Chain A
Amino acid sequence: DVKVTQSSRYLVKRTGEKVFLECVQDMDHENMFWYRQDPGLGLRLIYFSYDVKMKEKGDIPEGYSVSREKKERFSLILESASTNQTSMYLCASSSGGAGTDTQYFGPGTRLTVL
């Protein structure tokens, strides 16, 4: 079974703090994704990576950055957390660039910024 794990299920941070969300997959997948999930807005892509050290902006990259130093690990960084970044963050991975690839999701991190 494919396993995607995220470092925390729940996280509470203060405004202005630097926040790191970690994601690890164990299936040697090429692609990894970070989404933000908000009620009524669905899953919105923040960033994705198609190879180590390669990344591409998604639909809502502002206020976020990412790092992928190893194939299995993809980190989402909030440089200076703000209250409007309070949300559920989901990581996903898929095997390659084909349009038929299934995305496997982690359990999510619910981040609250106070």
Chain B
Amino acid sequence: QQPVQSPQAVILREGEDAVINCSSSKALYSVHWYRQKHGEAPVFLMILLKGGEQKGHEKISASFNEKKQQSSLYLTASQLSYSGTYFCGTDGSGNTGKLIFGQGTTLQVKP
């Protein structure tokens, strides 16, 4: 079952902050975050692993609450380049490499 992302869309001014949430109905081994700019392929941002390890982007942070089966992506002091659609991908097993992606959150940063 697809994880649920919220909000579906958000519009910001440069310098403002945003939080994107990803919620799963299943236990999770890891959560992956990707960003897709208009007309381009999705690009990896960050992985959050069960147990608290994080790997990823310098200017974007995220959290992973294993008990609540939720992850949040924090975009602080947003820049125009942050615009795009953000997807979370969840892995319940840790041994297949298969991800189930959410429906996406569209972020638009305006000058």
Minimal Cβ-Cβ distance residue in A for B40: A107
Interface residue range, chain A: 20 to 34
Instruction: Please indicate the chain A residues that have their CB under 8 angstroms from the CB of B84 in the complex.
Output: none
For window 2-46 of A, CB contacts with B under 8 Å fall at 4, 30-31, 33, 35, 40-45
For window 70-111 of B, CB contacts with A under 8 Å fall at 87, 89, 91, 93-104
| A102 and B97 alpha carbons, distance in the complex (Å) | 9
- Shortest CB-to-CB span from B41 to chain A, Å, is 4
Interface on B for A, CB 8 Å cutoff?
Answer: 2, 5, 8, 29-30, 32, 34, 40-44, 47, 49, 55, 87, 89, 91, 93-104
Interface on A for B, CB 8 Å cutoff?
Answer: 4, 30-31, 33, 35, 40-45, 48, 50, 56, 58-59, 90, 94, 96-108
**13 sampled A-B residue pairs with Cβ under 8 A:** A4-B41, A42-B87, A42-B101, A43-B104, A45-B99, A50-B96, A50-B97, A90-B41, A97-B96, A99-B29, A99-B91, A102-B44, A103-B99
